[in-house]
Structure 1
Amino acid sequence: MTDGDLAAEGSVEIDVKVEQNRIKDQTEQLMVPLHECIDANLVRPESKFVLPKCELPPPSEFGPIESFVSKAVQEQHEQGADLPPNKGYKALTDAFRLKNDLPLLKKIMLAMRTSQNTVHCLTSVSKKHARLIHMIVRFDPFAQSAEEGDENNNIIDLTLVDAHFNLLVVLVSANSTLLVPTISALWKLLITQEDASKERWYRVHAALATIMFMCPTGKMEMFPIVSSNTPFRKKEESSLRWYYKNCLDVLEYIASMEGELIALMIDRCLEMDVEIKINDGGEVSIDRDSHDPGIFQLDLEEKAKEVLPEDATVDEMADRLDSIMKILFEYIESRCEQDLSNAYNIFSILLRSFEKSILITHKSKFVQFLILHLCGLESRQMEHDAEASLLYREYASKLIEIILDPYRAIAIRQCAACYLASFVSRATYVCAETICEAVSALLRWAEAYVATLQSSAVYAVDIRNQCSLHSLFYTVCQSSFYIMCFRGVDAIEFHRNAISSSDSAYYEPSRIDISAERWTRLCEHPLQPLRYCLESVRSEFLLISKNFDLISEQVLSQLVAEEKRLASEAGKQRKKRRSTISTPATLEKERQTGGVGGMGHGMNPLDSFFPFDPYLLHRSSKHVEPFYGHWEEPLPSSVSDDDNNEENADLEQDEILEEDDSSDTDAESEGDDSDNDSLREHEGGDDRSFEPMSYDSNASDISNKSAESSVFKEPSIDDKRASLHETWANTLKRSRALSIENGSW
Structure 2
Amino acid sequence: MGMDIDDPNAGYQEMDEVFTDNELVHMVRNALKSIVLGDGKSYHELIGVMHQKGPMSPDEVAMLVTCLKALSGAASSIDLTHHQFLLSTIFSMNLWNYVPEVMDALVDLIVSLAASNGKYVDPCLSMLIKNFSPPYSFARILKQPRGLSIKEQVLSRVHYAIESISRLVPLAPMILLTLVVQRMPRQNDNEDVLLMYVENMFRLERGSIGQLVGSTMLVAVVDRMIDLDLDIAWEDILQDDAGKGIFQMELDEIDDEIEYDGNEPLGAHLNRKGLIGNAVAEKLDSLLSITFEHLESCKAQGRLNEVFETLLNSFRSTVLTAYKSKFAQFVMFYACALDPEDCGVRFARTLVDIFTCNDYPPITRMSAVAYLASYLARGKFVSTNFVVAILRRLIDWCMDYCETQNGDINPELHCPFYSGCQQAIMYVLCFRMRSLVHVPWLKSQLSLMPLESILKHRLDPLRVCLPSVVEEFLRQAKAAHLFTVSKTFVFNSLLESEPSRTFGGLERLDMFFPFDPCLLKKSDRYVHPNYIFWSMVQTSFEDEEESDGDDEGEGTPDGAMSTGDQDGFDIDEFDSALNEMSITPKNYKWGGDMQPLARMPSKLRPSTSPQSL
Is TM more than 0.5 here? Answer: yes
Match of 1:283 in 2: 239
Q: CA deviation at 1:743?
A: 3.0
Note the alpha carbon deviations across 1:537-572, whole angstroms, 9 max, x for none.
1111111221223222xx343333225645xxxxxx
Q: Verify the 8 A CA contact 1:534 1:604 in the aligned structure 2.
A: no
Residue 198, structure 1, aligned to residue 154, structure 2: no
Aligned to 2:421: 477
2:567 counterpart of 1:612: no
Aligned position for 2:8: none
> Partner of 1:741 in structure 2?
601
Alignment of 1:589-608 (within 5 A): 607-608=510-511
User: Which residue is 1:690 aligned to?
Assistant: none
Partner of 2:210: 255
Would the aligned equivalents of 1:277 and 1:284 in 2 still touch at CA under 8 Å?
no
Find the counterpart in structure 1 of residue 570 from structure 2. Answer: 724
Deviation at 1:413, TM superposition (A): 0.5
Q: Which amino acid aligns with 1:332?
A: L
Say if 2:517 and 2:603, in contact at 8 Å, map to a contact too. Answer: yes
Residue number in structure 1 paired with 2:318: 357
Residue equivalent to 2:591: none
Cα deviation for residue 300 of structure 1 reads: 0.5
Which AA in structure 2 matches 1:210?
A
Q: Secondary structure at the match of 2:539?
A: coil
Q: Distance in 2 between matches of 1:141 and 1:317?
A: 30
Identify the match of residue 408 of structure 2 among 434, 458, 462.
Answer: 458
Letter in 2 for 1:521: S
| Partner SS, residue 469 of structure 1 | coil
| AA partner of residue 523 (structure 2) | S
Assess, with a 3 A threshold, how the Cα gap between structure 1 residues 551 and 643 changes in structure 2: closer, same or farther: closer
CA deviation vs aligned residue, 1:204-248 (integer Å, no higher than 9, x gap): 431431342244233332222221222221233333222222322
Q: Cα distance, 1:395 vs. partner?
A: 1.3
| 1:87 aligned partner | 41
Q: Does 1:267 align with 2:267?
A: no
How far apart in 2 are the matches of 1:718 and 1:140?
A: 81
Partner deviation per Cα, 1:287-320 (whole Å, 9 max, x = no partner): xxxxxxxxxx96201989xxxxxxx986222211
Query: Aligned pair in 2 of structure 1 residues 330, 403: CA closer, same or farther (>3 Å)?
Result: same
| 1:314 to 1:558, Cα distance in 2 relative to 1, 3 A | farther
1-side partners of 2:471 and 2:443: how far apart?
28
Alpha carbons of structure 1 residues 106 and 211: separation in structure 2 relative to 1, 3 Å? farther
Instruction: Answer 1 or 2: higher relative contact order, Cα 8 Å, separation at least 6.
Output: 2
Task: Report the residue type matching 1:317 in the other structure.
Answer: V
Report the secondary structure of 1:428's partner residue: coil
Rounded to whole Å, the distance in 2 between the matches of 1:598 and 1:118 is 73
Partner of 1:638: 543
Shift of 1:436: 1.3
Aligned mates of 2:289, 2:236 — CA distance in 1 = 26
Question: Within the alignment, does 1:486 sit opposite 2:438 as a pair?
Answer: no
Aligned to 1:320: 283
Change (3 A) 1:99 1:604: closer
Give 2:111's match in structure 1, choosing from 169, 188, 200: 169
Question: Cα deviations across residues 254-279 of structure 1 (Å, max 9, x unaligned)?
Answer: 32322211111111111121222336
CA 601–187 in structure 1, closer or farther in 2 if over 3 Å, else same: closer
Unaligned ranges ≥5, structure 1: 1-15, 21-58, 146-156, 286-296, 305-311, 380-388, 460-465, 501-512, 567-593, 645-702, 704-714
Q: How does 1:175-190 map onto structure 2 within 5 Å? A: 175-190=117-132
How far apart, CA to CA, are the structure 1 residues paired with 2:158 and 2:301?
25
1:96 & 1:493 partners in 2: Cα distance?
76
Pairwise CA distance, 1:601: 6.9
- Separation in 1, partners of 2:235, 2:35: 71
Match of 1:627 in 2: 530
2:447 aligns with one of 487, 491, 515: 515
Q: Aligned partners of 1:542 and 1:536: how far apart in 2?
A: 10
Q: Give, in whole Å, the separation in 2 of the partners of 1:226 and 1:559.
A: 59
- CA 1:254 to 1:525, structure 2 compared with 1: closer, same or farther past 3 Å? same
2: CA distance between counterparts of 1:723 and 1:729?
A: 11
Q: State the match for 1:678 in structure 2.
A: none
Counterpart CA distance in 1 for 2:282 and 2:316 is 26
Shift of 1:458: 2.2
User: Which amino acid is 1:84 matched to?
Assistant: G
Q: Could you say which residue in structure 2 is the equivalent of 1:584? A: none
| 1:401 and 2:343 aligned | no
Secondary structure in 2 matching 1:430: coil
Whole-angstrom distance in 2 between the partners of 1:108 and 1:405: 65
1:567-578 matched pairs, under 5 angstroms: none
1:276-425 equivalences in 2 (<5 Å): 276-278=232-234, 282-283=238-239, 299-301=251-253, 315-339=278-302, 342-379=303-340, 389-425=341-377
TM-score of the superposition, structure 2-length normalised? 0.75
How much has 1:633 moved relative to structure 2? 4.1
2:157 equivalent to 1:225: no
SS in structure 1 of the partner of residue 233 of structure 2: strand
Alpha-carbon spacing, 1:237–1:643, altered in 2? closer, same or farther (3 Å)? farther
> Quick one: distance in 2 between partners of 1:556 and 1:140?
76
* Cα pair distance change 1:599/1:410, threshold 3 Å: closer
CA contact (8 A) 2:305 2:343 kept: yes
Structure 2 CA distance, aligned partners of 1:358 and 1:536? 27
Q: 1:119 aligns with which of 57, 63, 75?
A: 75
Report the more deviating stretch, 518-527 or 100-109: 100-109
Give 1:123-142 correspondences, 5 Å limit.
Answer: 125-140=79-94, 142=96
When normalised by structure 1's length, the TM-score is: 0.63
**Pairs within 5 Å for 1:492-531:** 492-494=437-439, 496-497=440-441, 513-515=445-447, 518-531=450-463
Alpha carbons of 1:126 and 1:472: their partners in 2 closer, same or farther (altered >3 Å)? same
Per-residue deviation at 1:179?
Answer: 2.0
CA offsets 1:29-56 (integer angstroms, 9 cap, x no match)? xxxxxxxxxxxxxxxxxxxxxxxxxxxx
Question: Deviations along 1:2-60, whole A, 9 cap, x unmatched?
Answer: xxxxxxxxxxxxxx99x99xxxxxxxxxxxxxxxxxxxxxxxxxxxxxxxxxxxxxx97
Secondary structure at the counterpart of residue 69 of structure 2: helix
Give me the whole-angstrom Cα distance separating, in 1, the residues matched to 2:239 and 2:51.
57
Using the TM superposition, give the Cα deviation of residue 426 of structure 1 relative to its aligned residue in structure 2, in angstroms. Answer: 0.9
SS in 2 for 1:525: coil
Match of 1:210 in 2: 161
Counterpart of 2:284 in 1: which secondary structure?
Answer: helix
* Partner Cα separation in structure 2 for residue 397 and residue 226 of structure 1: 33
Q: Which residue of 1 aligns with 2:397?
A: 445
Q: Is the 8 A contact 2:225 2:284 kept in 1?
A: yes
Shift of 1:492: 4.0
Distance 1:164 1:516, change over 3 A: closer
Q: Which residue is 1:242 aligned to?
A: 196
Structure 1 contact 62–107 (Cα < 8 Å) conserved: no
**Alpha-carbon distance in structure 2 between the residues aligned to 1:551 and 1:258:** 51
* 1:709 aligned partner: none
What are the superposed Cα offsets for residues 99-151 of structure 1, whole Å, 9 maximum, x if unpaired?
698745743552563589733322xx4433332233223223544x5xxxxxx
How high is the sequence identity, in percent, across the aligned residues? 23
Distance 1:498 1:282, change over 3 A: closer
- Per the alignment, do residues 413 and 127 of structure 1 end up closer, same or farther by CA in structure 2, a change over 3 Å counting? same
Segments of structure 2 that go 5 or more residues without pairing to the other structure are 6-14, 242-248, 258-274, 550-558, 589-596, 606-613
Which deviates more, 430-439 or 91-100?
A: 91-100
Question: Counterparts of 1:255 and 1:323 in 2: how far apart (Å)?
Answer: 23
Asked whether the equivalents of residues 380 and 532 of structure 2 are also in contact (C-alpha less than 8 Å), the reply is: yes
